[in-house]
Structure 1
């Protein structure tokens, strides 16, 4: 095999539509393979933060997002190869329906990632209420785009043995499993999606069921048939830390892209994780407050001393970057159905929770001016999904102009106050974005 190529057994779990059982099958396969003693590297197509927490819990290796819209195709390959080092097999959970991508296109769809990675695909079909008709659906999915290579199909939510016999009599695509309806596989959810790993046990049980109901040996064989991938990078090493960046990480702040951490470290940052609910603010040169569920932990966040410590540090010039939940926490107050809670008070505005989502989709933006943290005309992509709104003061200044996305209001995002920038966009860091953040931390340190 040429030196610039690498062989990684891999399989992608696709679905006919959202809710067909992709997550159950993907996590179950991860669990079944892990139980066999294999080292499994998990991935998730798209910008989702929640499914990867389940993958990580099951596999013991950090799940990574694969999103061509945010990352670009080369970085999808780079991230996949880098993350898969030392693994025996990679399992990728798809997103939505197989061909569902950005704005009705195929970009960033499961099929798109399958083609970029030359990855064999398993189609998950919910067969409740269907028999022979399921094969017409499967035939459509497997012939719609001939560039997608199919390993087979897994039938989910099956019924009786007779139901299985009716479907099996007309099969045209290899069956790799028949999973009957089981109540224990139901997973709790909340307003931003499934419950986080550790909050429920449904997906932890899926490994034994997939082992029982699917032909794991055939799936491994299909994964091993994937062709070698060509490396598209040279140096992926991380630099020795020159600055320390504090990262809020707890039940309130838990939505981060793993690649953002890697890029910050590569740019020369040591990351210091702490909980704004229970810890003091550590001695750091900058602060990164990601998204999550501050509304579920508003009382604890209000009570803990780090809230005042962050305000004092911001007033003294500490560089702070806040995303979504971080924006809400940095605002003056948060109103929920339970009451009103004080925030850090750095951002001149007040947050309010609503009973339906206020924005959902990809973001494409640029830095609109020469502001602290990030240089003018720095471009970025990301994602937004939130149930809160911010009522900003009329004289707020905004660092980001969005070509795609809503932001805080009317395509403006990233309120700037001193050396703090906070907005609704979950930014997928480019190397330049991370380097600019670290440079600001270095400037603050000196």
Structure 2
């Protein structure tokens, strides 16, 4: 739990990093989160970078929502604000890094896990894949220790060790040639406890028996990692002055606001919790909806379609004609709809997957197709160039994309509002397709890096609500001012 003395905040926090993607840091992070939770600690999980799946598993491990932290998606001060606002009520904050410790946007390592750890003055524990390596591991650890200044390397956990002799030599080498303590040594697992697919780990939505998965990884980690030493490493984190920290405002709705539907089912479930909190903070009432259920929907005045895996549920989406028809009518009536990636794919006419073509809602006049390799993957920088309900023209947006689908082909004469300075988007550096009060594209945004998105979304929903209240029928196109 956060301790406060003389305007200083202090509580244990730690970053789990790897030498590369696939080093095993996710499995270790999940196990540590669950094990410390079982010990009675209140653990706040964070995920560095734009990741929904690992974040969801971390939430399951702790019972608390995971927050994403990324110095690219939102400014440094916002990173600090989010971290200290959300972590301060917990006994331990655990941040799972992404990619390699020093890997960032450029040769300087901008926006890397190491940069995030320095911003938050957070000790780092390195999870190192030791496959076919013994004494060389000491050189690797020493190199990481000395590569960047002001990085608090608090320990290393050896992963994928082949046997006791392998573990002994590797541990002894690191302890002899470096001052970095070895906090544990894990064996090779026969198989990944959590199956993977093209975008990473299979989601909890699709995989049953989560408790069995946690039991398995916790048993291995508890036997092979010194939890007390890990907590000691987290406790090395220095205190931070609270008078320089801008706290995230509490959620409060001063007056009854519009209802915004959020689709959360097995097809679409990629959302940043902060985006949803921001909508509520600006007065929206959120209701969960499904594109897969055939029952009626409550009255809504806006709709948020996040990302996900619509291809895995394509046949069910196709067969649910009542929802597809209802949504098309709502879009024609001027319902404000914001759709990202998988949500954008659902708004198209069709989705082609594994040589089969499935009907989608037909709101947007294009078709999408899944390919074996990513068609867009990485950070996005955009400028808004066309009027829409959610962003004023001239707004600069940061976001990210990760999609194996693309449009085939892209018709001429479509209205795009995002001109990408970085990223792929829908077509030729364009993204954010506008139709009536719909804005849809491959770009995912985080509300902390998309100024005004939440307030403008709620404003548009309120305008739609007022038209419905007054019996004026179709809502006109809404322009963000």
TM-score by length of 2: 0.89
Establish whether residue 411 from structure 1 lines up as the match of residue 429 from structure 2: yes
**Correspondence 1:35-74 to 2 at 5 A:** 35-74=38-77
Residues 313 and 404 of structure 1: is their aligned pair in 2 closer, same or farther, counting only changes over 3 Å?
same
Establish whether residue 314 from structure 1 lines up as the match of residue 334 from structure 2: no
Establish whether residue 262 from structure 1 lines up as the match of residue 273 from structure 2: no
Following superposition, the deviation at residue 431 of structure 1 comes to: 4.2
Following superposition, the deviation at residue 186 of structure 1 comes to: 4.0
Following superposition, the deviation at residue 435 of structure 1 comes to: 1.0
**Correspondence 1:139-218 to 2 at 5 A:** 139-170=142-173, 171=175, 172=178, 173-183=180-190, 185-197=192-204, 199=207, 201=210, 202=213, 205-218=216-229
Within 2, Cα distance between the matches of 1:209 and 1:354?
A: 37
Structure 1 range deviating more: 201-210 or 29-38 = 201-210
Query: In the alignment, is the contact (CA less than 8 A) between 2:378 and 2:401 conserved in 1?
Result: yes
Within 2, Cα distance between the matches of 1:18 and 1:404?
A: 23
**231, 255, 268: which one pairs with 1:220?**
231
What per-residue deviation string (whole Å, max 9, x for no partner) do you get for residues 36-93 of structure 1?
1111111111001110011011110011111010011111111112222432111110
Establish whether residue 239 from structure 1 lines up as the match of residue 257 from structure 2: no
Counterpart secondary structure, 1:104: coil
Establish whether residue 7 from structure 1 lines up as the match of residue 20 from structure 2: no
Within 2, Cα distance between the matches of 1:97 and 1:445?
A: 47
Within 2, Cα distance between the matches of 1:321 and 1:161?
A: 54
Establish whether residue 108 from structure 1 lines up as the match of residue 111 from structure 2: yes
Counterpart secondary structure, 1:103: coil
Counterpart secondary structure, 1:259: helix
Within 2, Cα distance between the matches of 1:61 and 1:235?
A: 17
**346, 357, 368: which one pairs with 1:340?**
357
TM-score by length of 1: 0.96
Following superposition, the deviation at residue 2 of structure 1 comes to: 5.2
Following superposition, the deviation at residue 422 of structure 1 comes to: 0.5
Counterpart secondary structure, 2:184: strand
Query: In the alignment, is the contact (CA less than 8 A) between 1:364 and 1:405 conserved in 2?
Result: yes
Following superposition, the deviation at residue 4 of structure 1 comes to: 4.8
Aligned to 1:300: 316
Within 2, Cα distance between the matches of 1:431 and 1:373?
A: 10
Counterpart secondary structure, 1:111: helix
Establish whether residue 392 from structure 1 lines up as the match of residue 410 from structure 2: yes
Following superposition, the deviation at residue 382 of structure 1 comes to: 0.6
Any stretches of 5+ residues in structure 2 without a counterpart?
467-481
Any stretches of 5+ residues in structure 1 without a counterpart?
none
Counterpart secondary structure, 1:61: coil
Within 1, Cα distance between the matches of 2:82 and 2:190?
A: 36
Within 2, Cα distance between the matches of 1:297 and 1:100?
A: 34
Counterpart secondary structure, 2:99: coil
**441, 454, 457: which one pairs with 1:434?**
454
Within 2, Cα distance between the matches of 1:410 and 1:46?
A: 25
**349, 363, 375: which one pairs with 1:358?**
375
Within 1, Cα distance between the matches of 2:136 and 2:38?
A: 35
Following superposition, the deviation at residue 5 of structure 1 comes to: 3.5
Q: Size of the alignment, in residue pairs? A: 446
Counterpart secondary structure, 2:32: helix
Aligned to 1:98: 101
Counterpart secondary structure, 2:292: coil
